[in-house]
Structure 1
Amino acid sequence: MLQSIRDNSQSIVAKVIVGLIIVTFALFGVESLVSLSAGSNAPATVNGEEITEQELYQATELQRRQLLSQMGENADPALLDENLIRGMVLESLIQQKSLLLSAQEQKLLISDRMIDQLIVNTPDFQIDGKFNPAQFEAVLRNAGFSPMMYRELVKKEKLLEQQRTAYELSAFAVPSELERIVELDRQTRNARYFVLPKAEIEKTVGVSDDEIKARYEQDKANLTTEEQVVVEYVVLNKNDLRDGVSVSEEEINGAYDQMLATFQAEEQRHSAHILIEVSDTQDDAAALAKITALKQRIDAGETFDAVAKSDSEDLGSAETGGDLGVNGKGVFATAFEDALFSMNEGEVSEPVRTEFGYHLIKLLDISSKEAPTLAQVREQLTEDLVSQKVEAVYVEKLETLADVSFSSGDLVEPSEVLGLTILTSAPFDRSGGEVDITRNAKVISAAFSQEQIKEGLNSAPIELDRERTVVVRVKEHFEPRSQTLEEVADSLKEIIKTEKVLAALKADAEQRKADLLAGKPVDVVAADLTVESVEAASRAAAELPAEVRSLMFAMPHPTQGQPSIDITDLADGGMALVLLDKVNTEAVELSEEEKRSMGGFLSNRIGQQDYQAFVDRLKNTAVIEKL
């Protein structure tokens, strides 16, 4: 075989192929061949434009953080369905991509200067009402954004806002529409109604054993239990470890000395800067030439403050002479910070390059914070030391729990080694149990895994939250089974009774409606009930049951002196017969101010509907491909 390969490799065809490979490597690199065989890993494409995995990851992570923030400090990440969040975010990105492509086709633009102004005017990036670059970078870091990523996000949002606003502001309502809407809004109605309560009929309805048996036989195939498990579990709780941890006076003093050393090293530097941006309209060389010329002007005698006010392209600090306030380390970009903390007071740096562009930095003042006394920070130092020790013990015990649980056939050894109590759950299905542990998505997933059910092994440690980790083991497994008549008799009885009550109630209501339509007086038809009368009821009449009010304004106008009659269900299970006697309308006379206000509101609603129709059309006509 090897000889055959050798012989074939000497052929003209083989040499040509090898030659082509060598040329490809030389011109384009090895990636060119890899890319020929590797398809795109984009989660989706819209009209041929990719939504990248990075875009999806960033948007999903942002959505996840927002959800956890809304859930509060004790939010449990395990409660979030990552696949559901990812799917929803992908759909949102597909819609966004469709709209952005449309915006590009319409040649909508947002200038870089407008984005700068929006960023400068954002309150989250300001200190004492003024834009602060350090605050800007800190907020972005916490949110997981770089400045360039954030600018791109702002640009996209403003392009979409421009597109949406175009629809909303171009919509309008003609005077006749406005008058008709106002007329309908101010319309009132006169009506009577009476309620057929469910309670009276319930007293007369019974369900026999034969009816229950017949329903059981009819629905037997669907009367099955859910698959269930009973689990044993042990919980390692970090808070339970605190009682076994103590802190010595020596450790407190050591922590205080360490803090003092940190404070002594924590200089605060008051600085100002001049920024020349590197952008699409100003390349690196042009920016460097410009900043170098500004440095020469300062060296020639112009004040840093004046040059910053006249020439700095940092809109947030230019008007204050480039002042950046007093800051410690860890605030500015690395190159900026290295230059600042290597300067002497009053010195102006050479041009410094960061991702924003080129800076001239002036060190205005050096100061340091005054260290607190031991008495002032003793309680906090003690708490920090205890927390550190507890965390170390917790991590150590987690490792032990993982090792012992893996090697043990049940939870007895982990329980004895770590001094944990073995607890047993009540039976629960895939929707979760009665306690928070058996409602945890990760616990449910582990408990219903085939490995756990078939082999009865201990699960890997499952983190419930920051303080608790659990190991579970399936003790009992219950396959779905047909329920016996005795198990479901009570629920079937309630179902049958409810159906019979509703049927009797509906039949009673229909008969009374027929009597009213036949001309019988309402006081005769509803002799055993209370008839309520309402005069000039508006659409917002709070004294009426919501279902009655809704039906009143949906019924046709009375004709030939006869009321319109209809039936509606009520929230409590009863029914109401409504007799619409009169529709009251009044001439609409609006002031100019009311016309403007109502017209603006109506136009805005029409614009929103038009824009939503546009969004739906774009998405429905786009060529969308998903992995």
Structure 2
Amino acid sequence: MHNYLLVFKVTPLFSLLFSFLICLPTFAQAKAIELNRIAAIVNNSVITQTELNNRIELITQQILQQGTAPPTPAILKAQVLEQLIIETLQMSLANSTGIKIDDETLNRTIKRIATNNKLSLTEFHNVLENDGFKFSDFRENIRQEITIRRLHERQIHRAVVVSQQDIEQFLSSQPANVNRDKSFHLAHILIALPEASSPEQIASARNKIDSITTQLDEGSDFAALAISYSDGQQALRGGDLGWKKFAELPTLFANVIPDLGINEVSKVIRGPNGFHLVKLMGVKGEKRHNVNKTHARHILIKIDKKLSDTDAKAALIKLRKRIIEGESFAKIAEAHSDDMGSAINGGDLNWLAPGETVAQFETAMNSLSLDEISQPVRSAFGWHLIQVLERKQFDDTVAFERNQAQQIIRQRKIEEDTETWLRRLRDEAYVEYRNVTQSDNT
């Protein structure tokens, strides 16, 4: 849901910090006067007027930076407050189910964010402080982001299963006359329907989407309407769904998107969760998928209570010396390797694609010339001797497509289940709105 948080750039930093701050329930930017009135009661939690005003201020600045006209204050306030309610419910559930993020995990994540921005941790800290953001607030916001992600993994992701039958049905359902290498940049407006919606609720939603369609026909901006009216998770980003390959398109949109022109908006699409409008913002193509594979073999000596780390490495040094002096790598692997699966084949691992082995093994393997025997290499499995026999480029498109299909189906199921789960979480919550007002500067 918020994957972009950990890879954002810092140019300009304010805009990019906003992209994660709007997804989190608190932001403690300093103000001369704190307004601690309650904006809403959400089960046993509260959303304060200060939180609401700060979030509205951030989102308003982001909308302006995108070149989009903000909606009226009342509409923006309603959208932002609903976002805060959803986030508060998720954080409350995470806390009640014992999800805690320790400082070590938090520190690793922040260090990775700094590295992604090509900054040291000290430099990143200084950039934040210079732009008016407390580093302590940043840390807690990231902690909350990780917490929500862990909650989704526990409540939704773990239950998602993709079968081989799912993959076969997916691949066979792809139309032959569509270039599946194309990617589409999409924007989206959703007018949601509750579960078991009544005819009156359906009619009301239909009227609302028809009104939006009329405004688009009259020249209104799609992003501005998405910010004002959409119930989608990306509403406050102008409905922007980013780039998706054809196979990644929701089933509901797959037959519609290829027929749209650039900047064209679809007709109203009725789905199980509501009414949709989709705008095609761009198209690009991709080449076939080729992969460089390595044919390698290895000898593994595991570390256990009987054999120390030092002794395991020393044993491999002796085996390497024997191979260099002319003994058969395969025979020594058969006799000494602790990897029983490959030992019976002389240590042969067959053709390995990138990512199929642990990082330490792959890095060492990639540094070897053909037929070269590595020095002992340490991994989580023990100590290895590695020999590269061949390297070749394969057209891996078929296997790649099956792997992509598996990931796409899983992601579709996660997105659909997340929408349903969030809607149910919201429907079952007790929410009491108080007399919400905004300060003059928001």
Common fold by TM > 0.5: no
Q: Which has the larger radius of gyration?
A: 1
Please, what TM-score do these two structures have when normalized by structure 1? 0.27
- Give 1 or 2: higher helix fraction: 1
Ranked by relative contact order (alpha carbons within 8 Å, sequence separation 6 or more), the top structure is 1
Please, what TM-score do these two structures have when normalized by structure 2? 0.38
